[in-house]
């Protein structure tokens, strides 16, 4: 199999409990280099493995091309494989994407995990079947959903068999792996699949990722996995449980899980969260002993960054000011964007209704407008007040002329999102009859 | 949207697939960071409480000052990081919107509107929680950390002037300034402005922000 063998390892310094343990972390660095880095270091000691030859391979081009913000390099980038590790190779990919697919290995009983959460997530863009609490993302179904079932039970067994899941991020992967397999089956036939299935040990879990150009969900919805999304309330419950159990060091994930008693929360979620929590506590504690040194270094930093005459407090103040400003602007921008999209949706709905009505009635403008007037004002609530009045103006336009430039707002103030969209409406109305598609934006541009 | 069994349909499916991958990446990163922030926020509150308690019972002024100084620094940076996450969310959304717009323009398709509706609901764009944390952080900063009142506006300009002459700015502060400048840049009047575009940005103290010396993050050799 001419696939390239790469093992992606991602890790974070503060997470490593031993020099040889790697875990996926969240960070902001881009991890392009690691792919090539691992290529040479991959020399798994497979001699002791009982299985037939398997080798890890990771998607290269596509993943390298995009920034992965949450993977960091650690000081020890070697790929460590141990005797109990089993490596599985996956299907070759379509040439348009890359030559290989990702394989991720998790072995029970050892702390070395080599994988990339990012990569996996890219593969796991299929609907997921396990619910998670507090998650705001609904999973959308894809064509592959129907095939999930036969594979689901397999993965559940593997997941259940895993006891020492060290890297808690795996949990999310594991929860989602049940949807991976069908993808593996779908595209280019490869004899490897059938060979690999029986190779799974009870102790091993190999989530397969497939990167194919053929298996696409037909819906336009982004196929999100219902990932665990923590909330402050949930965190409070977590803290309570931890404190009851005697502190972050003494509390065990299992105990916490039991105490929290939250439906849908898995031990993997708790594990990863506990890890984060421990790290967050550990750092300030270590710094307390060296607080004086820290302060002088902070002072130096600040004085280098910003003139000494300003002083730390002033530098901090300035920083806060600028940050506050950015926050404010972001809020404003986000609200604007929301309203713009809302208007766009409203517009489209109205155009579609009008089209539908015209198709049905076929040239009776006045009755068309009656139909329009009836459902719209009640069913939809425009985000701003002038939205309503303008929509009524539009409908009146329809009744008068069927199509034609209206008098919707002479307000040129573009900073009001609602008004600017209304302005376009009269111009675009005239185009609705010209083409069947709804291409407001295109027309608006050309008319401008 | 029905899947057209044509070459166009396949290309479209490919495109959507790639977009979905990106969105997943955003979501994953965002939720990881969000979780960290939830934890960090609580920890900061705890630290402040501890220091306050220690001071009220013990009374060592210098120790209090030292520890508060450290907390002050950490909180400001924490605030900055959260705001930068919001920026991450927004920039990616803007990027997606632009990509979709371009796609529709190039292919005459109607992908943009329904797709963006779904993007709006994605975790990475539902930043309410982060926003709330930011506000709470600002409250803490205002109330607890900067109790000393100062003369305001005239000195601000003064400080700004002094800033100009300094070394390049680094770190979170730098990224924040860059974010503001980028936002300004993106929203400048463009040739493809339509009713989906954002209006130009008017920043207060924009001259101040522009005056910062920002070095490139990537060393230019």
Q: Report the distance separating Cα B83 and Cα B134, nearest Å.
A: 7
Mean per-residue pLDDT, B168-196: 77
Nearest CA in chain B to A62: B18
- Candidate from A277-286, A383-392, B41-50, B79-88 with smallest mean pLDDT: A383-392
Residue-wise pLDDT for A65-74, tens only, equals 444 344 444 4
For residue A17, pLDDT beyond 50? no
Q: Identify whether the C-beta of residue A38 lies closer than 8 Å to the C-beta of residue A80.
A: no
Mean per-residue pLDDT, B31-40: 94
| A322/chain B closest Cα distance in angstroms | 7
Residue B169 in 3-state DSSP? Answer: strand
For residue A95, pLDDT beyond 60? no
B104·A295 Cβ contact <8 A: no
Residue A8 in 3-state DSSP? Answer: coil
Please report which confidence band the pLDDT of residue B29 belongs to, taking 50, 70 and 90 as the band edges.
very high
| A53/chain B closest Cα distance in angstroms | 30
Nearest CA in chain A to B157: A318
For residue B85, pLDDT beyond 90? yes
Residue-wise pLDDT for A187-208, tens only, equals 444 444 344 444 434 444 333 3
In 3D space, the residue among A314, A349, A126, A367 whose CA is nearest the CA of residue B159 turns out to be A314
Return the top range by mean pLDDT from A258-267, A285-294, B181-190: A258-267
For residue A20, pLDDT beyond 70? no
Please report which confidence band the pLDDT of residue B30 belongs to, taking 50, 70 and 90 as the band edges.
very high
Cβ neighbours of residue A58 closer than 8 Å, sequence gap 6 or more: A6, A7, A8, A35, A38, A100, A101, A102, A103, A116, A119
At residue B130, the pLDDT reads 94
Give the residue from B24, B67, B197, B201 with the most A CB atoms within 10 Å of its CB, the best one to mutate: B24
A301 vs B contacts (CB less than 8 Å): 170
At residue B146, the pLDDT reads 60
For residue A264, pLDDT beyond 60? yes
**Tokens at A425, concatenated:** 């409406």
B66·A295 Cβ contact <8 A: yes
**Tokens at B115, concatenated:** 């797709």
More confident residue, B169 or A118: B169
Window 10-39 of A: residues touching B by CB (8 A cutoff) are: 26
More confident residue, A113 or A353: A353
- State chain A's mean pLDDT as an integer: 55
- Beta strand A204-205 pairing with A106-107: antiparallel
For residue A94, pLDDT beyond 50? no
Nearest CA in chain A to B40: A280
Cβ neighbours of residue B146 closer than 8 Å, sequence gap 6 or more: A313, A316, A317, B72
Nearest CA in chain A to B192: A445
User: Who among B28, B193, B196 is closest to A227 (CB)?
Assistant: B28
Interface check for A314 against chain B (CB to CB < 8 A): the answer is yes
At residue B211, the pLDDT reads 73
| A282/chain B closest Cα distance in angstroms | 11
A228 vs B contacts (CB less than 8 Å): 31
Interface check for A421 against chain B (CB to CB < 8 A): the answer is yes
A306·B194 Cβ contact <8 A: no
Nearest CA in chain A to B210: A322
**Tokens at A267, concatenated:** 């031990």
A316·B70 Cβ contact <8 A: no
At residue B217, the pLDDT reads 60
**Tokens at A92, concatenated:** 């070759």
User: Who among B41, B74, B198 is closest to A333 (CB)?
Assistant: B198
At residue B96, the pLDDT reads 93
Residue-wise pLDDT for B118-162, tens only, equals 999 999 999 999 999 999 999 988 887 665 444 444 455 555 545
Q: Identify whether the C-beta of residue A281 lies closer than 8 Å to the C-beta of residue A187.
A: no
For residue B28, pLDDT beyond 90? yes
User: How much is the ipTM here?
Assistant: 0.85
A312 vs B contacts (CB less than 8 Å): 69, 73
How many whole angstroms from its chain centre is CA A200? 29
For residue A19, pLDDT beyond 60? no
B209·A439 Cβ contact <8 A: no
| A51/chain B closest Cα distance in angstroms | 33
Q: Report the distance separating Cα A338 and Cα A344, nearest Å.
A: 10
- Candidate from A151-155, A382-386, B12-16 with smallest mean pLDDT: A382-386
At residue A381, the pLDDT reads 45
- Candidate from A118-122, B68-72, B83-87 with smallest mean pLDDT: A118-122
For residue A345, pLDDT beyond 80? yes
Q: Identify whether the C-beta of residue A47 lies closer than 8 Å to the C-beta of residue A107.
A: no
How many contacts, defined by CB atoms under 8 Å, are there between A and B? 270
| B14/chain A closest Cα distance in angstroms | 7
User: Who among B76, B90, B148 is closest to A333 (CB)?
Assistant: B90
Q: Report the distance separating Cα A69 and Cα A66, nearest Å.
A: 9
**Tokens at A392, concatenated:** 């009524």
User: Who among B86, B114, B166 is closest to A330 (CB)?
Assistant: B86
**Tokens at A326, concatenated:** 């950015």
At residue A228, the pLDDT reads 84
- Candidate from A44-53, A265-274, B77-86 with smallest mean pLDDT: A44-53
Cβ neighbours of residue A448 closer than 8 Å, sequence gap 6 or more: B193, B194
More confident residue, B135 or B170: B135
Residue-wise pLDDT for A100-129, tens only, equals 443 433 444 444 444 444 444 444 444 444
A319·B172 Cβ contact <8 A: yes
At residue B193, the pLDDT reads 67
At residue B184, the pLDDT reads 85
Burial track A24-51 (b if 16+ CB lie within 10 A, e otherwise)? bbbbbeebeebbebbeeebebebeebee
Nearest CA in chain A to B187: A333
Please report which confidence band the pLDDT of residue B178 belongs to, taking 50, 70 and 90 as the band edges.
confident
A127 vs B contacts (CB less than 8 Å): none
At residue A91, the pLDDT reads 39
């Amino acid at each position: 199999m001419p696939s390239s063998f790469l093992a992606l390892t991602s890790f974070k310094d503060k997470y490593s409990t031993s020099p040889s343990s790697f875990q996926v972390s969240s960070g902001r660095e881009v991890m392009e280099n690691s792919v090539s880095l691992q290529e040479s270091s991959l020399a798994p000691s497979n001699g002791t493995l009982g299985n037939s030859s398997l080798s890890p391979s990771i998607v290269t081009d596509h993943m390298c091309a995009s920034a992965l913000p949450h993977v960091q390099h650690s000081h020890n980038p070697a790929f460590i494989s141990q005797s109990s590790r089993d490596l599985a190779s996956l299907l070759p990919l379509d040439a348009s994407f890359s030559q290989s697919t990702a394989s991720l290995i998790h072995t029970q009983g050892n702390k070395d995990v080599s994988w990339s959460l990012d990569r996996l997530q890219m593969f796991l863009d299929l609907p997921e079947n396990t619910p998670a609490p507090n998650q705001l993302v609904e999973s959308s179904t894809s064509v592959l959903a129907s095939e999930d079932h036969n594979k689901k039970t397999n993965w559940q067994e593997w997941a259940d068999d895993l006891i020492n899941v060290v890297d808690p991020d795996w949990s999310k992967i594991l929860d989602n792996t049940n949807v991976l397999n069908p993808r593996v089956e779908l595209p280019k036939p490869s004899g490897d699949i059938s060979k690999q299935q029986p190779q799974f040990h009870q102790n091993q879990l190999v989530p397969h990722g497939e990167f194919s150009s053929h298996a696409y969900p037909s819906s336009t919805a982004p196929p999100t996995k219902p990932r665990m999304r923590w909330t402050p309330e949930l965190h409070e419950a977590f803290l309570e449980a931890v404190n009851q159990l005697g502190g972050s060091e003494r509390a065990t994930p299992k105990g916490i899980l039991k105490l929290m008693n939250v439906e849908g929360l898995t031990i993997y979620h708790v594990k990863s969260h506990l890890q984060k929590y421990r790290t967050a506590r550990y750092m300030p504690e270590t710094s307390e002993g060296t607080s004086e040194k820290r302060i002088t270094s902070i002072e130096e930093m600040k004085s280098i960054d910003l003139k000494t005459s300003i002083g730390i407090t002033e530098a901090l103040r300035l920083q806060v000011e600028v940050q506050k400003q950015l926050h404010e602007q972001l809020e404003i921008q986000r609200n604007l964007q929301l309203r713009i999209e809302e208007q766009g949706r409203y517009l489209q709905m109205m155009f579609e209704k009008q089209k539908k009505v015209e198709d049905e009635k076929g040239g009776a403008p006045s009755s068309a407008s009656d139909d329009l007037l009836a459902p719209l004002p009640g069913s939809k609530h425009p985000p701003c007040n002038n939205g309503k009045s303008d929509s009524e103006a539009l409908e009146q336009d329809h009744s008068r002329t069927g199509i034609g430039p209206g008098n919707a707002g002479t307000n040129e103030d573009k900073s009001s999102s609602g008004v600017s969209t209304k302005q376009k409406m009269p111009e675009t109305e005239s185009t609705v009859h010209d083409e069947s598609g709804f291409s407001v934006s295109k027309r608006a541009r050309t008319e401008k | 949207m029905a899947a057209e069994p044509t070459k166009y349909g396949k290309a479209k499916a490919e495109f959507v697939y790639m977009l979905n991958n990106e969105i997943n990446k955003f979501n994953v990163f965002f939720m990881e960071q969000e979780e960290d922030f939830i934890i960090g926020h609580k920890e900061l509150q705890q630290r402040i409480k501890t220091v306050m308690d220690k001071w009220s019972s013990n009374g060592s002024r210098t120790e209090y000052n030292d520890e508060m100084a450290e907390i002050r620094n950490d909180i400001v940076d924490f605030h900055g990081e959260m705001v930068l996450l919001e920026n991450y969310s927004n920039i990616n959304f803007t990027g997606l919107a632009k990509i979709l717009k371009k796609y529709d323009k190039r292919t005459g398709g109607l992908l943009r509107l329904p797709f963006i509706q779904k993007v709006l609901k994605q975790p990475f764009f539902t930043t309410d929680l982060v926003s709330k944390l930011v506000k709470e952080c600002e409250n803490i900063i205002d109330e607890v950390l900067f109790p000393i009142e100062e003369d305001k506006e005239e000195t601000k300009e003064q400080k700004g002037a002094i800033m100009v002459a300094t070394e390049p700015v680094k770190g979170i502060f730098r990224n924040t300034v860059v974010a503001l400048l980028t936002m300004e840049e993106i929203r400048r009047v463009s040739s493809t402005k339509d009713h989906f575009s954002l209006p130009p940005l008017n920043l207060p103290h924009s001259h101040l922000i522009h005056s910062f010396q920002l070095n490139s993050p990537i060393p230019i050799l």
